[in-house]
Structure 1
Amino acid sequence: MSWVFLRDLLSGVNKYSAGIGRIWVAVVFLFRLLLYVAAAENIWKHEHDEFECNIKQPGCENVCFDHFFPVSHIRFWALQLIMVSTPSLLVVFHVAYRQNREKHHNQKLYKNPGKIDGGLLCTYLISLILKIGLEIFFLVLFYKLYNGFKIPHLVKCDIKPCPNIVDCYISKPTEKMIFLYFLVATSCLCIVLNLSELSYLMFKYSIKCYLKRHVKKQQGSKSNCCESELISQREAESAKGAHATNRAQPPSLSVRSPSHFPFRKCLVYLVFNGMA
């Protein structure tokens, strides 16, 4: 397992995480990773050699150990730690994709490539869901493999090639039990933190989307009101202009055409000449 890789991964995720996400990184790095390296690995280091049964039948101890501990605790937790940290790579890869795309196009495509919004928000939410699912999966798997979250002092084995029921003893069971409870508690704490961050982000961006829609709706109604007011003002101005034009121009009936006067003069002249 590459601790440098895991450290770089967690530090990269911490850069793009929200407040609760940074707490999750601290819990994983301080409580789980350092505890695993400093203490748990040494406690379970010689678990197979220290597993003893009260019979020296060849192969009996190996078969009983494999039955009660099908997977080594230390390897199981190492696998769990790697798998739980892996979904965070989705966020790092998404940010790297954004930055690479900006370099390729030689222009600013995003306001902030590391800001959690849009597609990066969906990727971040998916990574949270995957981390929650993996944590629950490994807790259930541990419970099924080891018949609960306990380490007994004594186990009884009757699997062949053991000739009868054999008593087998586990070394340092109390110390192992304490570390087991602590690791299970930190795993549950990580689930709670991921659920809290998931709920917080969904609530936050739901409110944000609702406010954006409300503001757009208000702006649309205001623009419609302004347009209707402008149209009514234009209609009123055009009506006033038409009324003023009609008042300035005299009626057509009051205007006497000059072409009628010669005709009337001729008619009067003919009447008077006929009477003469």
Structure 2
Amino acid sequence: MDWKMFQSLLSGVNKYSTAFGRIWLSVVFVFRVMVYVVAAERVWGDEQKDFDCNTKQPGCPNVCYDHFFPISHIRLWALQLIFVTCPSLMVVMHVAYRDDREKKHRAKYGEEAKLYDNTGKKHGGLWWTYLLSLFFKTGIEIVFLYLLHMIYDSFYLPRLVKCDVKPCPNQVDCYIGHPTEKKVFTYFMVGASAFCIVLNVCEIIYLISKRIARIIRKMKSRDHLVALQHEHYKDHDNVRYHSVPMKRLQLKPTFKGSDELRASAPNLSTAA
């Protein structure tokens, strides 16, 4: 497998990742891929040849090896690394889709027109894609750890296994090659996988808490703006309400029918 090409495909993920995502990517390539390529592959290079049984019965060592190692650790880890890094490609593909939409939008409406402020910024659909990729990565890590534990009953590798599977004539003793090295690398890869799970969970909590904090800030700013507008309208109404009576008080009261009343009843004015 060409791990260099695999690394180049995921190198763009660093641009769109948070601090936890960058640490996760460093752990994957330094403590998992590099250890896998440099050391682990050599330890498990020819494990079936190093699997010795105290019998010369044809087919017995092969059947016993297949019984105790149905899936090799090294191949299971290779599948795990491939599957666990594939969700990160979802983010790269989503950003590439945004870039394509941005180019088409500018070609149609001019270079000044912008569809996105930043195509790699985690807002809208890209935020959901990034969050789903974290859930997928965490789920894949847990599933592969469970498979490894279920297939081998534990993460511990014994030095001696007893096999009574046909065509073995009776119960035979089989010895695993380099058991201590394999046990150390198994614990190391399991620990690195568990650490990656912790990083993914921390990044999920960070993204959700940051999104909630942003929503709360928007709600507070909106409520503050509404309160300012309400206060402005209230002050405007108070000014208008108090200004109208003042104008009315300055007006002198006039009675349009006073002259007619005096002309029609002169005696009333004399008596008064």
The TM-score normalised by the length of structure 1 is: 0.88
Q: CA deviation at 1:86?
A: 0.7
Q: How does 1:31-42 map to 2 (within 5 A)?
A: 31-42=31-42
Count of residue correspondences: 259
Cα deviation code 1:206-258 (max 9, x no counterpart):
112112101111111221121122122223333433444x42x743134569x
Cα distance in 1 for partners of 2:52, 2:150 equals 24
Cα distance in 2 for partners of 1:110, 1:129 equals 26
Cα deviation code 1:12-66 (max 9, x no counterpart):
1111111111110110010000000000011101111111111111111111111
- In structure 1, what residue type is equivalent to 2:178? K
- In structure 2, what residue type is equivalent to 1:4? K
Cα deviation code 1:74-98 (max 9, x no counterpart):
1110000000101111111111111
Q: CA deviation at 1:199?
A: 1.0
Q: How does 1:14-163 map to 2 (within 5 A)?
A: 14-106=14-106, 107-163=113-169
Cα distance in 1 for partners of 2:170, 2:88 equals 50
Counterpart position of 1:268: none
2:212 to 198, 206, 229: 206
Unaligned 5+ segments in structure 2 are: 107-112, 267-272
Cα deviation code 1:140-170 (max 9, x no counterpart):
0000111110111111110011111011111
Cα distance in 2 for partners of 1:6, 1:240 equals 82
- In structure 2, what residue type is equivalent to 1:111? D
- In structure 2, what residue type is equivalent to 1:136? I
Judge conservation of contact 2:10–2:89 (CA < 8 Å) in 1. no
- In structure 2, what residue type is equivalent to 1:179? F
Cα distance in 2 for partners of 1:93, 1:170 equals 44
- In structure 2, what residue type is equivalent to 1:220? V
Unaligned 5+ segments in structure 1 are: 265-276
- In structure 1, what residue type is equivalent to 2:60? C
Counterpart position of 2:269: none
Counterpart position of 1:222: 228
Counterpart position of 1:253: 257
Counterpart position of 1:273: none
Q: Which moved more, 1:197-206 or 1:3-12?
A: 3-12
1:182 to 160, 165, 188: 188
Counterpart position of 2:109: none
Cα distance in 1 for partners of 2:239, 2:96 equals 55
Counterpart position of 1:165: 171
The TM-score normalised by the length of structure 2 is: 0.89
SS at match of 2:12: helix
SS at match of 1:171: coil
Q: CA deviation at 1:137?
A: 0.6
Which segments of structure 1 move beyond 6 Å, counting only runs of 4 or more?
Answer: none
The higher radius of gyration belongs to: 1
Cα distance in 1 for partners of 2:213, 2:126 equals 18
